[in-house]
């Protein structure tokens, strides 16, 4: 069968019609991809269409909806969410009317792996735990312990690991490396023991895997109706079955750590000022294994995952912005550093404190890639937010730190650019940005107590790495956020490493 021939005039008319058809088709696709809610099934079609890019999907909708929108699940479970990236609403929820927006009982169920630690609890239990944690981590001996532990880990583990990587011409996953490094450092701070998970053979660490399974389950539960994941938990199927097995491993490990630390305290050994040791010495803190277990697990999850995420995205940002790396190197070359036996530089926390551009680059990384991309709140009483949006007790509130870093109304037209200069004032000092606009460390009464500790560790690790080594990201890999409560990279960050020969 011969194809019908087209005249020149018909062809001229046909092409615009075809283009118009594809234009409408594309717009239908955008509506399907970006529309948050559908009749009866709610957000389910849009969530499935955007399952590989949930964080960016939410950010795009918030940009279109001026910072707020309602997200509903399928009709029968009655799942209702209010998602916000509006600074005024965030300030109201997290600070001004803090008492009306607790974590809530459902949050405790979803974050079951964290027990009744400081992240999960509300009211008096939360206040008590926060006060004790703040008292312990703000003591001079603990702050010194952080710096000493980080420096020793850099010298004895990180730099030798990277040197061996260079000698063996290995391609490594920086994200995995940071996860192991942060895990080891946090374990030392939590209970005084280095588990030694950072090694070029990347040994399996059952407890670390148990933590990974727990965080994966939390995201699984958040993104599905409660009736669904509770059914899977009851049947011990899929992700819930893996979680149950991992929890046994994790609880057994923590129980052994607590008992070991108690014996050491009785025998007068191992007197380093770690968190668990400090708690065991405090007569006002419950000596029950459950309280201690919840406290240690919350500290471990916060310290390990947030640092590894922040450092991974920092080195990704440097790989895309060579001028930023050059400016950081120039700053680092101006301060004093100690030298290892192998001739590599190590910086202490005091020397790094006054490096403005270096810290601005870290803050810019956390703006675009906050380790905790969203928060989760319940509603006690009906309330009207500053934006005019109404919220009720049958809703859950999700302030999105990831979306806030991408809002033109907060950061300007260049909000998607990596630009450390936005953090530096005309006088050359760091510019203050209110926490309800820069949500990387939360805001209000629940502002992260580990902010100073995290920045100290990140600066010391990043400075030693940038000054001593060059990192080349492997071409062709796709770098994108994973679907998790922590902003990990979906495919890791594969790099080649070489020694830096000149500054």
DSSP secondary structure letters along 108-122: HHHTGGGTTSTTT--
Q: Is 90 exceeded by the pLDDT of residue 365? A: yes
Domains of the chain: 50-499 (1.10.630.10)
Q: pLDDT tens across 162-192, in order?
A: 999 999 999 999 999 999 999 999 999 999 8
d(CA 135, CA 11): 78
448 is an annotated ligand-binding site residue:
yes
- Name the pTM for this structure: 0.89
Q: Can you give the length of the chain in residues?
A: 503
Share of the chain above pLDDT 90, in %: 55
d(CA 212, CA 301): 9
DSSP 168: T
pLDDT, position 305: 83
Q: pLDDT tens across 109-136, in order?
A: 888 888 889 988 999 999 999 999 999 9
pLDDT, position 130: 94
pLDDT, position 37: 64
3-state secondary structure of 15: helix
Sign of CA dihedral 308, 309, 315, 318: negative
Considering only CA atoms, which of 12, 50, 18 is closest in space to residue 32? 50
Question: pLDDT averaged over the chain?
Answer: 87
């Amino acid at each position: 069968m011969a194809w019908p021939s087209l005249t020149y005039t018909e062809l001229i008319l046909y092409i615009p019609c075809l283009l118009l058809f594809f234009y409408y088709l594309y717009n239908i696709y955008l509506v399907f991809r970006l529309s948050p809610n559908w009749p009866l099934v709610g957000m389910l079609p849009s969530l499935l269409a955007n399952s590989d890019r949930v964080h960016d999907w939410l950010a795009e909708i918030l940009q279109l909806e001026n910072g707020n929108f309602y997200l509903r699940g399928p009709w029968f479970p009655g799942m209702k969410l209010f998602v916000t990236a509006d600074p005024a609403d965030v300030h109201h929820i997290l600070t001004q009317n803090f008492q009306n927006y607790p974590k809530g009982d459902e949050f405790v169920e979803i974050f079951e792996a964290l027990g009744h630690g400081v992240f999960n609890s509300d009211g008096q239990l939360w206040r008590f735990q926060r006060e004790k944690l703040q008292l312990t981590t703000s003591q001079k001996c603990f702050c010194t312990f952080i710096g000493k532990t980080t420096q020793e880990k850099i010298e004895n583990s990180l730099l030798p690991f990277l040197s061996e990587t260079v000698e063996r011409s290995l391609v490594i996953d920086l994200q995995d490396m940071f996860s192991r490094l942060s895990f080891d450092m946090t374990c030392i701070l939590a209970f005084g023991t280095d588990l030694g998970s950072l090694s070029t053979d990347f040994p399996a660490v059952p407890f670390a895997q148990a933590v990974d399974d727990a965080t994966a389950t939390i995201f699984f539960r958040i993104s599905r109706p409660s009736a669904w994941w509770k059914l899977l938990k009851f049947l011990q199927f899929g992700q819930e079955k893996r979680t149950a097995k991992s929890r046994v491993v994790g609880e057994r490990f923590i129980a052994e750590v607590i008992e070991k630390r108690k014996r050491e305290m009785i025998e007068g050994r191992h007197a380093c000022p770690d968190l668990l040791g400090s708690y065991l010495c405090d007569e006002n803190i419950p000596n029950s294994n459950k309280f201690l277990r919840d406290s240690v697990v919350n500290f471990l999850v916060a310290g390990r995952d947030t640092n590894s995420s922040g450092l991974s995205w920092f080195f990704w940002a440097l790989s895309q912005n060579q001028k930023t790396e050059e400016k950081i190197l120039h700053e680092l070359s101006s301060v004093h550093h100690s030298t290892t036996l192998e001739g590599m530089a190590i910086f202490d926390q005091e020397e790094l404190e006054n490096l403005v551009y270096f810290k601005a680059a870290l803050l810019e990384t956390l703006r675009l890639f906050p380790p905790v991309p969203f928060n989760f709140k319940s509603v006690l009483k009906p309330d009207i937010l500053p934006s005019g949006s109404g919220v009720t007790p049958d809703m859950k509130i999700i302030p999105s730190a990831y979306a806030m870093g991408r809002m033109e109304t907060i950061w300007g037209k260049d909000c998607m650019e990596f630009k450390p200069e936005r953090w530096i004032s005309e006088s050359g000092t760091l510019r203050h940005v209110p926490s309800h606009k820069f949500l990387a460390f939360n805001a209000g009464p629940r502002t992260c107590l580990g902010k100073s500790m995290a920045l100290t560790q990140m600066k010391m690790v990043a400075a030693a790495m940038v000054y001593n080594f060059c990192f080349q990201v492997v071409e062709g890999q796709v770098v994108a956020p994973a679907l998790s409560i922590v902003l990990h990279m979906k495919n890791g960050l594969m790099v080649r490493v070489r020694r830096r020969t000149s500054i």
